[in-house]
Amino acid sequence: MMKKLLLTTICLLIITTFGAFAQTVFKVGSKYDADIKVFAVNSKYDADLVVYEVKSKYDANKDGRWFFTSSKYDAKKKVFFVKSKYDADLKIYFASSKYDAGWRNRSKQHLLK
Protein backbone atom coordinates (compact mmCIF):
# COMPACT_ATOMS: atom_id res chain seq x y z
CA MET A 1 0.00 0.00 0.00
CA MET A 2 2.80 2.40 0.92
CA LYS A 3 4.67 1.68 -2.33
CA LYS A 4 1.55 2.42 -4.36
CA LEU A 5 1.02 5.72 -2.56
CA LEU A 6 4.66 6.69 -3.07
CA LEU A 7 4.54 5.80 -6.77
CA THR A 8 1.33 7.81 -7.25
CA THR A 9 2.87 10.81 -5.50
CA ILE A 10 6.00 10.67 -7.67
CA CYS A 11 3.92 10.42 -10.87
CA LEU A 12 1.80 13.43 -9.85
CA LEU A 13 4.92 15.41 -9.03
CA ILE A 14 6.41 14.68 -12.46
CA ILE A 15 3.20 15.63 -14.27
CA THR A 16 2.83 18.84 -12.24
CA THR A 17 6.45 19.82 -12.83
CA PHE A 18 6.13 19.29 -16.59
CA GLY A 19 2.96 21.35 -16.67
CA ALA A 20 4.63 24.22 -14.81
CA PHE A 21 7.30 24.56 -17.50
CA ALA A 22 5.19 23.87 -20.57
CA GLN A 23 4.88 26.89 -22.80
CA THR A 24 2.12 26.01 -25.21
CA VAL A 25 0.86 29.17 -26.87
CA PHE A 26 -1.90 30.16 -29.26
CA LYS A 27 -1.63 33.20 -31.53
CA VAL A 28 -4.83 35.28 -31.41
CA GLY A 29 -6.00 37.89 -33.89
CA SER A 30 -6.92 40.62 -31.40
CA LYS A 31 -5.07 42.16 -28.48
CA TYR A 32 -8.30 41.99 -26.47
CA ASP A 33 -8.31 38.18 -26.70
CA ALA A 34 -4.68 37.87 -25.59
CA ASP A 35 -3.21 37.04 -22.22
CA ILE A 36 0.08 38.63 -23.33
CA LYS A 37 0.99 41.17 -26.00
CA VAL A 38 4.38 40.33 -27.52
CA PHE A 39 6.76 42.07 -29.87
CA ALA A 40 9.42 40.22 -31.86
CA VAL A 41 12.73 42.09 -31.72
CA ASN A 42 15.67 41.73 -34.12
CA SER A 43 18.34 41.13 -31.49
CA LYS A 44 18.40 38.75 -28.54
CA TYR A 45 20.03 41.52 -26.52
CA ASP A 46 16.83 43.58 -26.79
CA ALA A 47 14.60 40.68 -25.74
CA ASP A 48 13.03 39.85 -22.41
CA LEU A 49 12.76 36.22 -23.52
CA VAL A 50 14.63 34.29 -26.20
CA VAL A 51 12.16 31.87 -27.81
CA TYR A 52 12.79 28.71 -29.76
CA GLU A 53 9.78 27.29 -31.58
CA VAL A 54 9.54 23.54 -31.02
CA LYS A 55 7.71 21.04 -33.22
CA SER A 56 5.95 19.13 -30.43
CA LYS A 57 4.19 20.21 -27.26
CA TYR A 58 6.28 17.64 -25.41
CA ASP A 59 9.43 19.57 -26.34
CA ALA A 60 8.05 22.77 -24.80
CA ASN A 61 9.47 21.71 -21.48
CA LYS A 62 11.74 24.62 -20.58
CA ASP A 63 11.47 28.38 -20.45
CA GLY A 64 11.61 29.91 -23.91
CA ARG A 65 10.66 26.74 -25.77
CA TRP A 66 7.29 27.52 -27.30
CA PHE A 67 4.90 25.23 -29.08
CA PHE A 68 2.28 27.06 -31.15
CA THR A 69 -0.95 25.08 -30.93
CA SER A 70 -3.82 25.29 -33.40
CA SER A 71 -6.43 25.41 -30.62
CA LYS A 72 -6.73 28.11 -27.99
CA TYR A 73 -8.13 25.50 -25.60
CA ASP A 74 -4.84 23.56 -25.68
CA ALA A 75 -2.75 26.66 -24.97
CA LYS A 76 -1.39 27.76 -21.64
CA LYS A 77 -1.21 31.35 -22.91
CA LYS A 78 -2.81 33.29 -25.75
CA VAL A 79 -0.46 35.80 -27.39
CA PHE A 80 -0.97 38.70 -29.74
CA PHE A 81 1.92 40.09 -31.78
CA VAL A 82 1.91 43.89 -31.66
CA LYS A 83 3.57 46.21 -34.17
CA SER A 84 5.41 48.36 -31.62
CA LYS A 85 7.65 47.38 -28.73
CA TYR A 86 5.98 50.11 -26.69
CA ASP A 87 2.64 48.25 -26.85
CA ALA A 88 4.17 44.94 -25.75
CA ASP A 89 4.09 43.26 -22.38
CA LEU A 90 6.94 41.01 -23.46
CA LYS A 91 9.70 41.41 -26.06
CA ILE A 92 10.85 38.15 -27.62
CA TYR A 93 13.58 37.09 -30.00
CA PHE A 94 13.21 33.93 -32.08
CA ALA A 95 16.40 31.87 -31.79
CA SER A 96 17.64 29.25 -34.23
CA SER A 97 18.83 26.93 -31.43
CA LYS A 98 16.87 25.53 -28.50
CA TYR A 99 19.93 26.00 -26.31
CA ASP A 100 19.67 29.80 -26.68
CA ALA A 101 16.11 29.85 -25.35
CA GLY A 102 15.51 31.38 -21.94
CA TRP A 103 14.93 34.52 -19.94
CA ARG A 104 17.06 37.61 -20.34
CA ASN A 105 14.78 39.72 -18.14
CA ARG A 106 13.57 37.55 -15.27
CA SER A 107 11.27 40.28 -13.93
CA LYS A 108 8.86 39.35 -16.74
CA GLN A 109 8.59 35.66 -15.78
CA HIS A 110 5.24 36.24 -14.07
CA LEU A 111 3.66 36.83 -17.49
CA LEU A 112 4.00 33.14 -18.40
CA LYS A 113 3.03 31.66 -15.02
CA-to-CA distance for 108 and 100, rounded, in angstroms?
Answer: 18
What does the pLDDT look like over 30-56, one tens digit per residue?
999 999 999 999 999 999 999 999 999
Lowest mean pLDDT among 10-14, 61-65, 96-100: 10-14
pLDDT value at 13 more than 90: no
For residue 107, with 0-12 CB atoms within 10 Å meaning exposed, 13-18 middle and 19 or more buried, which class applies? exposed
pTM: 0.79
- Determine the 3-state secondary structure of 69 from DSSP: coil
pLDDT tier at 15, thresholds 50, 70, 90: very low
What does the pLDDT look like over 68-104, one tens digit per residue?
999 999 999 999 999 999 999 999 999 999 999 999 9
Higher pLDDT, 104 or 113: 104
What is residue 113's predicted lDDT score, i.e. its pLDDT? 86
